[in-house]
């Protein structure tokens, strides 16, 4: 996504903040798997990097199967 450098930097900052917040507060309070996944995919795309469900799951501490289901769902909406 060329031309989206500022947006990608902002999305990366949002992800870093969310990771920090999860260290202090329970992720169940603020859990938004679809939004997290959209941010992860956007940042990876802006950097020209490939991303897999397993990679996202490792970063989030979740299940690759759950991330995979979200990817399929979001792909049907053409959000990704």
CB burial of 9-40 (b: ≥16 within 10 Å; e: otherwise) equals eebbeebeebeeebeeeebeeeeebeebbbbb
Query: What average pLDDT score do residues 10-16 get?
Result: 93
Least confident window among 15-19, 29-33, 49-53: 29-33
CB 59, CB 44: distance < 8 Å: no
In this prediction, residue 2 carries a pLDDT of 55
pTM of the model: 0.77
CB-CB neighbours of 53 under 10 Å: 19
Exposed (0-12), middle (13-18) or buried (19+): which is 67, by Cβ within 10 Å?
buried
């Amino acid at each position: 996504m060329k031309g989206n450098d500022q947006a990608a930097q902002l999305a990366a900052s949002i992800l870093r903040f969310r990771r920090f917040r999860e260290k202090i507060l329970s992720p169940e309070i603020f859990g938004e798997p679809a939004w997290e996944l959209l941010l992860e995919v956007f940042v990876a795309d802006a950097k020209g990097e490939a991303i897999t469900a397993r990679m996202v799951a490792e970063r989030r501490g979740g299940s690759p199967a759950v991330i995979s289901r979200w990817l399929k769902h979001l792909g049907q909406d053409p959000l990704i």
